[in-house]
Chains A and B, each alone.
Chain A
Amino acid sequence: GAVVSQHPSWVICKSGTSVKIECRSLDFQATTMFWYRQFPKQSLMLMATSNEGSKATYEQGVEKDKFLINHASLTLSTLTVTSAHPEDSSFYICSAQGGQSFESNTEAFFGQGTRLTVV
């Protein structure tokens, strides 16, 4: 299957600093990328959907000024957690999709995830 690379795998940062997480599709063009957050023992929660070249669509309750998403190319999307606080500590996962929808049995390919710990 297709490969999505997410970096870094884990990061520890001080409260108040910003952290950037990269998500790259290595062997296909990802027109749509999704960013998820997962707290321990909970399901994946969609944070935002981004389409290459346009602004991301954020889910209700997700602060767009705090979680900056940039999808500047068909192979790279970034999530920047600005002014991070301990409550932002979580597992962040990106997934990429080559088509515009889930038609034609398009599966979502996931990155490895990033474990963020804010101290």
Chain B
Amino acid sequence: GQNIDQPTEMTATEGAIVQINCTYQTSGFNGLFWYQQHAGEAPTFLSYNVLDGLEEKGRFSSFLSRSKGYSYLLLKELQMKDSASYLCAVVDSNYQLIWGAGTKLIIKP
């Protein structure tokens, strides 16, 4: 079957750095998305990786290793507003989005 694994919850301190990991086993791979979702709101797009390596976009970076079935989202200079759920989603061989359960990130002052 298809599976996306992320930690359920993480806690970090304002101003610090946090890395949210995502491992996947899917039927084929056509890219990986990271989305941010605040409670009661729709997800918002953060990043898309289809090739191995690190993609940097401001305070957020996303890394992909296709051979390891692994990605991480790196958040720097954490702000209180970064408290949210972070969803990893993989595009499989049928171009369907397979969603992880999300990681709830709690930022403490």
Say what secondary structure dominates the interface of chain B: loop
B42 neighbours in A (Cβ, 8 Å): 6, 93, 110-113
Contact residue among A44, A91, A108, A110 (Cβ-Cβ distance under 8 Å from B40): A91
A91 nearest CB neighbor, chain B only: B40
Question: For chain A, which range describes its interface: under 10, 10 to 19, 20 to 34, or 35 or more residues?
Answer: 20 to 34
Question: For chain B, which range describes its interface: under 10, 10 to 19, 20 to 34, or 35 or more residues?
Answer: 20 to 34
Q: Mark A94-117, 1 if CB is under 8 A from B, else 0.
A: 000000011101011111110100
Contact: A108 with B97, CB < 8 Å? yes
Residues of B at the A interface (CB closer than 8 Å) are: 30-31, 33, 40-45, 48, 50, 87, 91, 95-97, 99-102
Residues of A at the B interface (CB closer than 8 Å) are: 1, 6, 34, 42-46, 91, 93, 101-103, 105, 107-113, 115
